[in-house]
């Protein structure tokens, strides 16, 4: 099944940047009005509507956003206690056809992330998301995609190994 995304439903980078509101004062730890959702650390770069931003969940599960980070901090946060060849990050870039069709996905090791973080954050290329790689626990990994529609029934599909 080939999925096309309309203007109201967009793949990863377009969805993630709206998970957390921009902080308007120094009280960035306030949980009032915040979404409570676990999400892996995510950095969105080269977006036309926003400066580079980092989205993360607090230990309590509230989603926060910061616009103040460096490539060095990205490498430190995403590769915390990892060996140099361990997979630590996923780079996702929108893939276009007639419309946005999905994401181009690339896995990065600690070494790859360290060498590419500066160019990803400081270049003026295409929009990209750098996300912490989440390892599966156990022998069966899966991804579940769900689509809710205003008109019609929702549907889902599961991909397993």
Q: Is the pLDDT of residue 9 over 50?
A: no
- Range 130-154 average pLDDT: 83
Q: Is the pLDDT of residue 141 over 70?
A: yes
Q: Is the pLDDT of residue 74 over 70?
A: yes
- Range 48-73 average pLDDT: 86
- Which tens digit of pLDDT belongs to each residue from 90-128? 998 877 777 666 778 899 999 999 988 888 877 777 788
pTM here?
A: 0.75
Look at residues 61, 64, 62, 88 and name the one whose alpha carbon lies nearest to residue 77. Answer: 88
* Span of 17-26, 58-67, 83-92 with lowest mean pLDDT: 17-26
Look at residues 74, 84, 85 and name the one whose alpha carbon lies nearest to residue 45. Answer: 74
Look at residues 115, 112, 133, 113 and name the one whose alpha carbon lies nearest to residue 41. Answer: 133
Percent of the chain residues topping a pLDDT of 70: 84
Per-residue confidence (pLDDT) for residue 76, from 0 to 100: 92
Place of tokens 């490498």: 75
**Higher pLDDT among residues 35 and 18, named by residue:** 35
For the chain, the average pLDDT equals 80
Contact in structure between 78 and 87 (CB atoms under 8 Å): no
Per-residue confidence (pLDDT) for residue 108, from 0 to 100: 95
Q: HEC profile for the chain?
A: CCCCCCCCCCCHHHHHCCCCCCCCCCCCCCCCCCCECCCCCEEEECCCCCCCEEEEECCCCEEEEECCCCHHHHHHHHCCCCCCCCEEEEEEEEEECCCEEEEEEEEEEHHHHHHHHHHHHHCCCCCEEEEECCCCCCCCCEEEEEECCCCCCCEEEEEEC
- Range 49-60 average pLDDT: 86
Per-residue confidence (pLDDT) for residue 87, from 0 to 100: 94
């Amino acid at each position: 099944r080939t999925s096309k995304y309309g203007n109201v439903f967009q793949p990863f980078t377009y969805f993630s940047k709206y998970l957390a509101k921009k902080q308007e004062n120094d009280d960035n730890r306030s949980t009032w009005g915040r979404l409570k959702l676990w999400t892996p650390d995510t950095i969105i770069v080269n977006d036309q509507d926003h400066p580079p931003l980092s989205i993360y969940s607090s230990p309590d599960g509230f989603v926060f956003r910061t616009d103040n980070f460096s490539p060095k901090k990205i490498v430190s946060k995403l590769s915390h206690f990892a060996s140099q060849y361990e997979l630590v990050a996923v780079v996702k870039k929108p893939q276009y056809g007639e419309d946005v069709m999905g994401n181009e996905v690339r896995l990065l090791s600690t070494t790859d992330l360290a060498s590419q973080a500066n160019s990803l954050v400081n270049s003026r290329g295409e929009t990209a998301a750098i996300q912490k790689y989440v390892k599966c626990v156990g022998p069966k990994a899966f991804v579940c995609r769900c689509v809710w529609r205003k008109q019609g029934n929702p549907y889902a599909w599961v991909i397993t190994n």
